[in-house]
Amino acid sequence: MNDKLGTWERTHRCGDLTTEQIGQEVCVMGWVQRRRDHGGLIFIDLRDREGIVQLALDPDRDPTSHQKAEQIRNEFVVAARGKVSPRPEGTVNPKMKTGEVEIEITELRILNRSETLPFMLDGFTEVAENIRLKYRFLDLRRNKLQQNMLMRHLVAKTVRNYFDDQGFIEIETPVLTKSTPEGARDYLVPSRVNTGNFYALPQSPQLFKQLLMVSGFDRYFQIVKCFRDEDLRADRQPEFTQIDCELSFVNRGQIMDIMEGMIAEVFKQTLGYEVSLPLPRLSYAEALDRFGVDNPDLRFEMELQDITSLVAESEFKVFASVAASGGLVKALNAKGCATYSRKDLDGFTDFAKIYGAKGLAWVKVNEDGWQSPIAKFFTADEIAAMNTALDAEVGDLLLFMADTPAIANEALGRLRGHIGQKLGLARKDDYKFVWVTDFPLLEWDGEQRRHLAVHHPFTAPLEEDFGLLDTEPGKARAQAYDIVLNGSEIGGGSIRIHDQAIQSRMFELLGIGAEEAREKFGFLLDALSFGAPPHGGIAFGLDRLMMILTGSDSIRDVIAFPKTQKASCLLSDAPNAVDDKQLQELGVRLRTKQK
């Protein structure tokens, strides 16, 4: 039989008790982290979301409570009253926040019992993901996840306060929206009252926030769930949260200023970390040239060097032929890594191959020159030129990639990140931001034989590249910007097209005919024709930001109830089959038999 809560009121949270409360009568409630029964004395570590405090139960002080404590097991829910006391000389626990005090219990109530848990919550062992997810309500009791959720709340609160101060208002946009087949796959919801028709869950509130600008709300933000039916990754869930913003009458410099202010405020409030503003800005072209990727990790240098011209005439056919066919030969200098084994180097090659590289050439810089399978193909002058370009010194490891520009950049750029991690140059408590700007507006899709929007079809081109739309649209750059933190894209946005004629022209360039554009985006084109102000915005991935703030390797650790890689919820068993009756009402018939 459990005890009743009765009229007891909690006076403090467990983790909040310090020497300041010494002498006070307190009442705490929480879960039993651990019981240590000495036969006489019993100690209980009582836990709530703020932390753990030690309860001391002395049979001489209160035999009834002591007797109850003998039955207590892990995760029992307990309420306890007693006096906060300093721990006896020599028994202070410096590892605990509350380690200088304990509560001398005078009355104890067992509010509820617990079965033996399927796994320990003590944080000393890594538990398999599927077990954690099945018992997510228990997993969430663990300290790390409690901290993550509390910090997530703090971030949301900070964001709301900041935007409120800046004159933004939060407006909700619909979750049942219209499917637009551009971009990611939609999650579809069948409509009962419009049999045969479907809503789509929003991939982002993009169009609605633009409409809010047309409506004159001027500065909008929303912390909002978005949905994409694509395959999952360590940093991707099918439903995720964006900090979504849109502003009118601003240029992109002003947007970036406001947004980096928000990010700085978040880092200050959560980690006490001062982000120095303004953040560096890098063009897409420069990012690719120096780092190979558009989301460079700037916690370390190790920049890529373009050595195509140095090896174009060399005897090494692999490099020379790539150079002759318009490819790139790029190299990076892994400082002091000449000691790496053949196995390490093979590992790097395998890593590069993931990104389409055919191979990777390496050079160890020794006292007596280059040690490398490819050294013999180069003249002393060529080697000297490469050494200079790469700032090579004895003890360095030079890595070379020759391929099409896209593959050479991507593969060597990813390898740069990989080696930076391996060398411990990418510290989790170091935060390096960069804005990447001037993305290409369009990319050519060879399969569909049409241009696709790199960002989305509502992105405005750079004003100086306007003319290119009619001549070489593939070369036009966008008024777009991504904010990158430690090699991870945490946000992206653009100035939008607010001129209906230009938006129509953009649809044309994307191979979307006038009729199709009207059918899919007619409401946007209409809105643009009724006095749309110049506007632009950005959306931040809250989950990815939380991963970095909490030092989490998985997005699941910053989401209360995440899904597995196959997008199922092991806790509730979603998605699941539904009754025929439900399907009938929706006018939906399945094409395949269910298992």
Footprint (CB under 7 A) of RNA, residues 81-100:
87-88, 90-93, 95-96, 99
Contact with RNA (CB under 7 A) among 1, 6, 126, 367: 126
Separation between Cα atoms, residue 193 and residue 143, nearest integer Å: 46
**271, containing H or E segment:** helix 252-271
Based on the number of CB atoms within 10 Å of its own CB, is 424 exposed (0-12), middle (13-18) or buried (19 or more)?
exposed
170-229: which residues touch RNA (CB under 7 A)?
180, 182-185, 203-204, 206, 228
**18 contacts RNA (rule: CB under 7 A):** no
Contact with RNA (CB under 7 A) among 16, 58, 303, 508: 58
31-50 footprint of RNA as x/- string (CB under 7 A) = ---x-xxxxxx-x-x-----
In whole angstroms, the minimum distance from the beta carbon of 21 to RNA comes to 16
Question: Among residues 537, 551, 419, which one has the least CA distance to residue 485?
Answer: 551
In whole angstroms, the minimum distance from the beta carbon of 320 to RNA comes to 27
Neighbours of 116 (CB within 10 A): 7
**520 contacts RNA (rule: CB under 7 A):** no
448-467: which residues touch RNA (CB under 7 A)?
452-457
**Residues pairing with 220 in the sheet:** 169, 246
Q: Interface with RNA by CB under 7 A: which range of 115-123, 148-156, 432-440, 499-507?
A: 115-123
Contact with RNA (CB under 7 A) among 25, 164, 230, 393: 230
Residues 6+ apart with CB under 8 A from 275: 260, 263, 264, 267, 268, 431, 433
Contact with RNA (CB under 7 A) among 112, 388, 565, 572: 565
Residue pair 73/34 in contact (Cβ under 8 Å)? The answer is no
Separation between Cα atoms, residue 132 and residue 141, nearest integer Å: 11
Separation between Cα atoms, residue 468 and residue 477, nearest integer Å: 9
For RNA, give the closer residue by CB, 264 or 411.
411
Backbone angles phi, psi at 489, to 5 degrees: -75, 115
**306 contacts RNA (rule: CB under 7 A):** no
**479 contacts RNA (rule: CB under 7 A):** no
Q: Interface with RNA by CB under 7 A: which range of 244-252, 385-393, 446-454, 515-523?
A: 446-454
In whole angstroms, the minimum distance from the beta carbon of 176 to RNA comes to 16
- Angle among Cα 471, 475, 477 to the nearest 5 degrees reads 115
Identify the residue whose tokens are 């509010």: 111
For RNA, give the closer residue by CB, 140 or 454.
454
**355 contacts RNA (rule: CB under 7 A):** yes
Give start and end residues of each alpha helix (H) in 325-397: 342-354, 380-390
Contact with RNA (CB under 7 A) among 6, 7, 124, 216: 124
For RNA, give the closer residue by CB, 90 or 373.
90
For RNA, give the closer residue by CB, 333 or 504.
504
372 DSSP 8-state letter: S
Identify the residue whose tokens are 């570590």: 45
**125 contacts RNA (rule: CB under 7 A):** yes
**56 contacts RNA (rule: CB under 7 A):** yes
481-500: which residues touch RNA (CB under 7 A)?
none
For RNA, give the closer residue by CB, 45 or 396.
45
For RNA, give the closer residue by CB, 12 or 456.
456
**367 contacts RNA (rule: CB under 7 A):** no
234-253: which residues touch RNA (CB under 7 A)?
234-236
Say how many residues touch RNA, by CB under 7 A: 72
236 DSSP 8-state letter: B
Per-residue b or e along 297-329, where b marks 16 or more CB atoms closer than 10 Å to that residue's CB: bbbbebebbbbbebbeebebebbbebbeeebbb
**564 contacts RNA (rule: CB under 7 A):** yes
136-175: which residues touch RNA (CB under 7 A)?
none
For RNA, give the closer residue by CB, 360 or 363.
360
Q: Interface with RNA by CB under 7 A: which range of 124-132, 149-157, 309-317, 370-378?
A: 124-132
Q: Which two tokens stand for residue 58?
A: 């002395």
Q: What is the 3-state secondary structure (H, E, C) of 115-147?
A: CCCCCCCCCCCCCCHHHHHHCHHHHCCCHHHHH
**45, containing H or E segment:** strand 42-48
For RNA, give the closer residue by CB, 129 or 286.
129
In whole angstroms, the minimum distance from the beta carbon of 394 to RNA comes to 34
Residue pair 39/70 in contact (Cβ under 8 Å)? The answer is no
Q: Interface with RNA by CB under 7 A: which range of 118-126, 318-326, 433-441, 511-519?
A: 118-126
Backbone angles phi, psi at 428, to 5 degrees: -70, -25
**129 contacts RNA (rule: CB under 7 A):** yes
In whole angstroms, the minimum distance from the beta carbon of 549 to RNA comes to 18
